[in-house]
Amino acid sequence: MGYTIMSSMLKISLTVAVLLTISGCATQSDWQAVGGSKGDAVVRLSYELGALDSHAPEENDGIKLAKQRCGYWGFSGAKAFDVETRTCADEQCRSYIITKEYQCVD
C-alpha cells in the first residue's frame, strides 16, 4: 500500500512539473510600441509569442495602438504594412518577437 501511495505521488509530482514547464513556454503579450519615426510617419509595434502559442493579439488592437501613437504626432489614423518580422526572443527560440510597422495617415 505504501508503494502505491508513493507511486501516485510521484506521478502527480511529475505531472505538475511538466505542466509548469510547458506553461513557462507559453508566453503571450499584447501589442507594445517599440519604435518608429515621426519624419517617416511610421510606428513600430511588437508582441512576444511563445513557440507553443498559436494565439496572437488582435490585429485591431494593434491598429488602435498605432493610431493612438500616430495621433501624438498629429496624424488621424494608421494603416498596417503587409509584412511582419519574426525573431527569436532567446537562444533556444522558445518564444518569438513579432514586429509590425504601421504608416501614419491623415
pLDDT tens for each residue of 44-81: 999 999 988 878 899 999 999 999 999 999 999 999 99
Give the pLDDT score at 52: 83
Give the tens place of pLDDT for each residue, 14-55. 444 444 344 444 444 799 999 999 999 999 999 999 988 878
Residue 5 lies in a domain: no
CA distance 12 to 7: 9
Q: Is residue 13 part of a domain?
A: no
Determine, yes or no, domain membership for 85: yes
Q: Quote the number of domains for the chain.
A: 1
pLDDT at 13: 47
Residue 7 predicted with pLDDT over 80: no
For residue 46, tell me if it sits in a domain: yes
Q: Residues near 86 by Cβ (< 8 Å), separated by ≥ 6?
A: 96, 97, 98, 99
> Does residue 42 belong to any structural domain of this protein?
yes
CA gap 24, 33 in Å, rounded: 24
Mean pLDDT of 93-105: 96
Q: What is the pLDDT of residue 24?
A: 45
Domain span including residue 100: 27-105
**Considering the domain boundaries, does residue 17 fall inside one?**
no
pLDDT given at position 4: 60
Residue 79, all three cell numbers: 494603416
